[in-house]
Chain A
Amino acid sequence: MDARQTGRRPRLAVWKFASCDGCQLTLLDCEDELLSIAAEMEIAYFLEASSAPGPGPYDLSLVEGSITTPEDAERIRHVRRVSRRLVTIGACATAGGIQALRDFADVREFTSVVYARPEYIATLERSTPISANVPVDFELRGCPIDKRQLLEVITAFLADRRPVVPGHSVCVECKARGNVCVLVAHGTPCLGPVTQAGCGALCPAYNRGCYGCFGPAETTNSGALNAKLRALGMSDPDLVRVYRTFNATEEPFRRASEEAEGDA
Chain B
Amino acid sequence: MGIKRDISHTVWSVRGNAVMDVVTRSLEPLIAALRAAGYTVVGPTVKDRAIRLTEISSAAELPDGTGDVQEPGNYRLTERDDGMVFGYAASPDSAKRFTQPPRQTLIRSRGQVIEEVEPEAPRIALLGLRACDLAAIAVQDRVFLGGRHPDPAYRRRREALFLIAVNCAVPGGTCFCVSMGTGPKATAGFDLALTELAAPHRFLIETGSERGARIVAAIPHQAATGDDVAAADEVSRTAAGRMGRTVDTEGVQEWLPAAHDHPRWDDVASRCLACTNCTMACPTCFCSTVEDVTDLSGDVAERSERWDSCFTLDFSEVGGSPVRGSQRGRYRQWLTHKFATWYDQFGTSGCVGCGRCITWCPTGIDVTEELSAIRYGTEGPSCIR
Q: Is there a chain B Cβ closer than 8 Å to A84's Cβ?
A: no
Top 8 nearest A-B pairs by Cβ distance?
A: A175-B280, A193-B275, A176-B102, A193-B273, A168-B312, A171-B275, A180-B50, A36-B296
Q: Is there a chain B Cβ closer than 8 Å to A227's Cβ?
A: yes
Partner of A176, one of B274, B275, B292, B306: B306
Q: How near does chain B come to A231, taking the closest CB pair, in angstroms? A: 9
- Interface segment out of the listed A65-73, A119-127, A148-156: A148-156
Q: Is there a chain B Cβ closer than 8 Å to A144's Cβ?
A: no
| With A169-B274, A219-B274: A225-B296 Cβ-Cβ less than 8 Å | no
The distance in angstroms between the C-alpha atoms of A183 and B360, with both chains bound, is 9
Q: How near does chain A come to B5, taking the closest CB pair, in angstroms? A: 32
Count how many pairs of residues, one from A and one from B, have CB atoms less than 8 Å apart in the complex: 133
Interface contact B296-A40, CB-CB below 8 Å? yes
Chain B residues whose CB sits within 8 angstroms of the CB of A193 once the complex forms: 273, 275, 277, 362
Among B92, B102, B103, B274: residue with most chain A CB under 10 A: B274
The distance in angstroms between the C-alpha atoms of A178 and B97, with both chains bound, is 9
Interface contact A175-B307, CB-CB below 8 Å? yes
Partner of B327, one of A171, A177, A219: A219
Return the chain A residue nearest B76 by Cβ: A185
Q: List 18 A-B contacts (CB under 8 A).
A: A39-B297, A40-B296, A151-B296, A152-B293, A158-B298, A159-B298, A166-B314, A168-B313, A171-B277, A175-B307, A181-B362, A183-B73, A185-B50, A185-B76, A194-B275, A220-B273, A221-B271, A224-B271
| With A181-B277, A194-B273: A219-B297 Cβ-Cβ less than 8 Å | no
Contacts A171-B276, A184-B74 supplied; 7 other A-B pairs, CB < 8 Å: A40-B298, A166-B314, A175-B280, A180-B52, A185-B75, A207-B48, A224-B272
Q: How near does chain B come to A4, taking the closest CB pair, in angstroms? A: 8
Q: Is there a chain A Cβ closer than 8 Å to B291's Cβ?
A: yes
The distance in angstroms between the C-alpha atoms of A159 and B52, with both chains bound, is 41
Q: Is there a chain A Cβ closer than 8 Å to B225's Cβ?
A: no
Interface contact A183-B298, CB-CB below 8 Å? no
Return the chain B residue nearest A163 by Cβ: B293
Chain B residues whose CB sits within 8 angstroms of the CB of A207 once the complex forms: 48
Q: How near does chain B come to A30, taking the closest CB pair, in angstroms? A: 10
Interface contact B276-A155, CB-CB below 8 Å? no
Q: How near does chain A come to B280, taking the closest CB pair, in angstroms? A: 3
Q: Is there a chain A Cβ closer than 8 Å to B214's Cβ?
A: no
Q: Is there a chain B Cβ closer than 8 Å to A56's Cβ?
A: no
Interface contact A167-B313, CB-CB below 8 Å? yes
The distance in angstroms between the C-alpha atoms of A237 and B277, with both chains bound, is 27
Return the chain A residue nearest B296 by Cβ: A36
Q: Is there a chain A Cβ closer than 8 Å to B260's Cβ?
A: no
Interface contact B294-A221, CB-CB below 8 Å? no
Q: How near does chain B come to A93, taking the closest CB pair, in angstroms? A: 23
| With A175-B280, A176-B306: A218-B313 Cβ-Cβ less than 8 Å | yes
What is the number of residues of chain B that contact chain A, defined by CB distance less than 8 Å? 46
Return the chain B residue nearest A41 by Cβ: B296
Query: Per-residue CB proximity of B311-332 to A under 8 Å, as 1/0?
Result: 0111000000000000100000
Query: Per-residue CB proximity of A176-198 to B under 8 Å, as 1/0?
Result: 11111101111100101110000
Chain B residues whose CB sits within 8 angstroms of the CB of A156 once the complex forms: 294
Binding site secondary structure of chain A:
helix
The distance in angstroms between the C-alpha atoms of A181 and B73, with both chains bound, is 10
Chain B residues whose CB sits within 8 angstroms of the CB of A169 once the complex forms: 273-276
The distance in angstroms between the C-alpha atoms of A152 and B302, with both chains bound, is 13
Chain A residues whose CB sits within 8 angstroms of the CB of B312 once the complex forms: 166-168, 172, 218
Interface contact B327-A175, CB-CB below 8 Å? no
Q: Is there a chain B Cβ closer than 8 Å to A114's Cβ?
A: no
Interface contact A225-B50, CB-CB below 8 Å? no
Chain A residues whose CB sits within 8 angstroms of the CB of B103 once the complex forms: 176
Chain A residues whose CB sits within 8 angstroms of the CB of B52 once the complex forms: 180
The distance in angstroms between the C-alpha atoms of A224 and B331, with both chains bound, is 15
Partner of A184, one of B293, B294, B307, B359: B359
Chain B residues whose CB sits within 8 angstroms of the CB of A187 once the complex forms: 74
Q: Is there a chain A Cβ closer than 8 Å to B178's Cβ?
A: no
The distance in angstroms between the C-alpha atoms of A172 and B287, with both chains bound, is 12
Q: How near does chain B come to A68, taking the closest CB pair, in angstroms? A: 32
Among A177, A178, A218: residue with most chain B CB under 10 A: A178
Q: Is there a chain B Cβ closer than 8 Å to A161's Cβ?
A: yes
Q: Is there a chain A Cβ closer than 8 Å to B17's Cβ?
A: no
Chain B residues whose CB sits within 8 angstroms of the CB of A217 once the complex forms: 275
Among A40, A166, A175: residue with most chain B CB under 10 A: A175
User: Which chain B residues in 361-381 approach chain A with CB under 8 Å?
Assistant: 361-364
The distance in angstroms between the C-alpha atoms of A192 and B308, with both chains bound, is 16
Q: Is there a chain A Cβ closer than 8 Å to B261's Cβ?
A: no
Chain B residues whose CB sits within 8 angstroms of the CB of A223 once the complex forms: 270
Q: Is there a chain B Cβ closer than 8 Å to A228's Cβ?
A: yes
Chain B residues whose CB sits within 8 angstroms of the CB of A180 once the complex forms: 47-50, 52, 92
The distance in angstroms between the C-alpha atoms of A232 and B6, with both chains bound, is 48
The distance in angstroms between the C-alpha atoms of A218 and B326, with both chains bound, is 12
Q: Is there a chain A Cβ closer than 8 Å to B281's Cβ?
A: yes
Query: Per-residue CB proximity of A4-39 to B under 8 Å, as 1/0?
Result: 000000000000000000000000000001001101
Q: How near does chain A come to B294, taking the closest CB pair, in angstroms? A: 5
Chain A residues whose CB sits within 8 angstroms of the CB of B273 once the complex forms: 169, 193-194, 220-221, 224-225
Q: Is there a chain A Cβ closer than 8 Å to B295's Cβ?
A: yes
Interface contact B295-A155, CB-CB below 8 Å? yes
Interface contact B360-A184, CB-CB below 8 Å? yes
User: Which chain B residues in 19-50 approach chain A with CB under 8 Å?
Assistant: 47-50
Chain A residues whose CB sits within 8 angstroms of the CB of B102 once the complex forms: 175-178
Partner of A192, one of B272, B275, B295: B275
Q: Is there a chain A Cβ closer than 8 Å to B341's Cβ?
A: no
| With A159-B298, A169-B274, A193-B273: A175-B281 Cβ-Cβ less than 8 Å | yes
